């Protein structure tokens, strides 16, 4: 009973405190309105005085003009009574000149104040303020913001997040939280359990660019809207960075390969011999290759190769230490998918396995997931998985390309396609690969010598 009585007393105290605060806040609003009313009334009165002063001056001018006109009329009437024709002509000429002057001066007497529009600059519209006043209530936490996926943009190491809020005027600031997406579908559990969330506080606008992200990686983002009453989180959004961009490295290109000026296309050219020998250059007869201009040691990266009419090529990745005097894939430091006329195969450490692929393959997609130890190849036009190497990478790898006829072009810095992230499609591709033949490994490159 004593505790209940104490709580009742505290309720009385809290009620009185909040009522006093309410009266204080409302009195401040009334005082602000009173002051604004005085300021606007003063402006109206000042405009009234200015306009009346101008009108009074015009009225005085009109009065003087009327007096002069009255004297002119009297003179004219007196002249009409003149019987001497010569004298009449002389006085009539003088009267005519004065009439002309009076007519000209009367043009300036047109009022320059339009009484119908004189106070348009004092139009009052307090509809917005009335709506705000009608909504006066205790402050509540803002509504959850909404991340606009269609407005968000990405590069290989940045993501710009855009969001909207229904309670924009009541939000004091926003907080952006993000982490690498691990595939966990229970976002509430993910939000509560992951300790590696990065937090960007005190954001005043409704967009923010995060820098220093991993290439080709999917992230989970939350936006928190904050005011004095509390905060609310947005629904999670999964956004991806693009892959690391790169070009063909001219220092590695075989002397019988010609690279385009932008270093994105390589072409077999028997007449191209103006290259000095360097240790990193592909050098032996038959190993017509070039490497990409980057070495990758983390993240997830996707690029495509436009194969054109080439029917003899090899595409993959290799360590820097991979031999440059033999075909890629014939050593333990390189992994490639190769086509030799009508045969498609994957090759590593001298072992080759046939792969089922369309002879119309024109865009070869390559997905290097360094952190998850895999290298995958795709028919990019048909969203078809061709093969995946499971590799425990020990060193940084560079994209590697070989051709024996025609030309190929690389497209890098691409976002990882959605079909690459689909486990069902990936699983189906692996099942297709396993059904190809009982013993898929063959030796040598039959028909390619």
Q: For residue 94, which of 78, 83, 115 has the smallest C-alpha distance? A: 78
pTM recorded for the entire structure: 0.59
| Distances, alpha carbon 398 to alpha carbons 76, 153, 218, 220, 379, in Å | 110, 27, 22, 28, 21
Q: For residue 366, which of 332, 406, 408, 411 has the smallest C-alpha distance? A: 411
Q: Are strands 237-240 and 218-227 parallel, antiparallel or unpaired?
A: antiparallel
Q: What are phi and psi of 380, to 5 degrees?
A: -65, -30
Helix (H, G, I), strand (E, B) or coil at 5: helix
Cα–Cα distance between 350 and 333 in angstroms, integer? Answer: 11
Cα–Cα distance between 26 and 20 in angstroms, integer? Answer: 10
**Tokens describing residue 271:** 């007449």
Cα–Cα distance between 315 and 404 in angstroms, integer? Answer: 12
Cα–Cα distance between 302 and 291 in angstroms, integer? Answer: 15
Cα–Cα distance between 449 and 440 in angstroms, integer? Answer: 21
Beta carbons of 414 and 302 less than 8 angstroms apart? yes
Tokens 């059904």, residue located? 435
One pLDDT digit (tens) per residue for the chain, 449 residues:
999 999 999 999 999 998 998 899 899 999 999 999 999 899 888 888 888 888 888 888 888 888 888 888 888 888 888 888 888 888 888 888 888 887 776 666 666 656 555 566 777 888 888 888 887 777 788 999 999 999 999 998 999 999 999 888 889 999 999 998 877 656 566 666 656 789 999 999 999 999 999 887 889 999 999 998 899 999 999 998 988 899 999 999 998 899 999 999 999 887 766 666 777 888 877 788 999 999 998 888 999 999 988 999 999 999 998 988 888 899 999 999 999 888 999 999 989 999 999 989 999 999 999 888 999 999 999 999 999 999 999 999 999 999 998 999 999 988 888 887 544 334 333 333 333 333 333 434 444 54
**Tokens describing residue 403:** 């051709």
Q: At what angle do helices 85-106 and 2-80 cross, to 10 degrees?
A: 170
**Tokens describing residue 74:** 């009297």
């Amino acid at each position: 009973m004593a505790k209940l009585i104490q709580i009742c007393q505290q309720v009385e105290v809290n009620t009185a405190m909040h009522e006093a605060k309410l009266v204080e806040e409302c009195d401040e609003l009334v005082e602000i309105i009173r002051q604004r009313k005085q300021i606007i009334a003063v402006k109206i009165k000042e405009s009234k005085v200015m306009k009346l002063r101008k009108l009074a001056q015009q009225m005085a001018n009109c009065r003087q003009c009327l007096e002069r006109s009255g004297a002119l009329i009297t003179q004219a009437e007196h002249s009409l009574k003149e019987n001497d024709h010569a004298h009449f002509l002389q006085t009539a000429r003088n009267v005519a000149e004065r009439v002309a002057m009076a007519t000209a001066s009367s043009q300036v007497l047109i009022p320059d104040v339009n009484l119908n529009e004189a106070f348009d600059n004092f139009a009052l519209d307090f509809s917005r303020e009335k709506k705000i006043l009608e909504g006066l209530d205790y402050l509540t936490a803002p509504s959850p913001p909404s991340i606009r996926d269609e407005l968000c943009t990405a590069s290989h190491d940045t993501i710009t997040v855009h969001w909207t809020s229904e309670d924009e005027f009541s939000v004091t600031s926003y907080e952006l939280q993000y982490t690498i997406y691990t595939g966990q579908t229970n976002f509430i559990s993910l939000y509560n359990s992951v300790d590696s969330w990065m937090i960007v506080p005190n954001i005043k606008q409704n967009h923010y660019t995060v820098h220093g992200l991993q290439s080709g990686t999917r992230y989970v983002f939350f936006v928190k809207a904050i005011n004095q009453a509390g905060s609310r989180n947005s629904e999670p959004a999964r956004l991806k960075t693009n892959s690391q961009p790169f070009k063909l490295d001219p220092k590695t290109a075989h002397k019988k390969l010609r690279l385009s000026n932008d270093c994105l296309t390589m072409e077999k050219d028997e007449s191209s011999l103006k290259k000095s020998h360097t240790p990193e250059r592909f050098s032996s007869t038959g190993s017509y290759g070039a490497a990409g201009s980057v070495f990758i040691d983390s993240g997830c990266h996707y690029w495509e190769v436009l194969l054109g009419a080439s029917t003899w090529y090899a595409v993959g990745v290799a360590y820097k230490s991979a031999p440059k005097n033999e075909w890629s894939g014939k050593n333990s430091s390189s992994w490639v998918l190769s086509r030799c006329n009508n045969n498609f195969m994957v090759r590593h450490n001298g072992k080759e396995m046939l792969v089922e692929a369309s002879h119309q393959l024109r865009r070869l997609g390559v997905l290097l997931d360094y952190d998850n130890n895999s290298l995958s190849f795709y028919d990019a036009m048909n969203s078809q998985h061709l093969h995946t190497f499971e590799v425990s990478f020990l060193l940084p790898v560079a994209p590697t390309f070989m051709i024996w006829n025609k030309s190929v072009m690389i497209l890098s810095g691409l976002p990882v396609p959605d079909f690459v992230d689909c486990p069902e499609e990936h699983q189906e591709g692996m099942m297709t690969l396993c059904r190809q033949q009982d013993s898929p490994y063959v030796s040598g490159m039959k028909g390619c010598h």
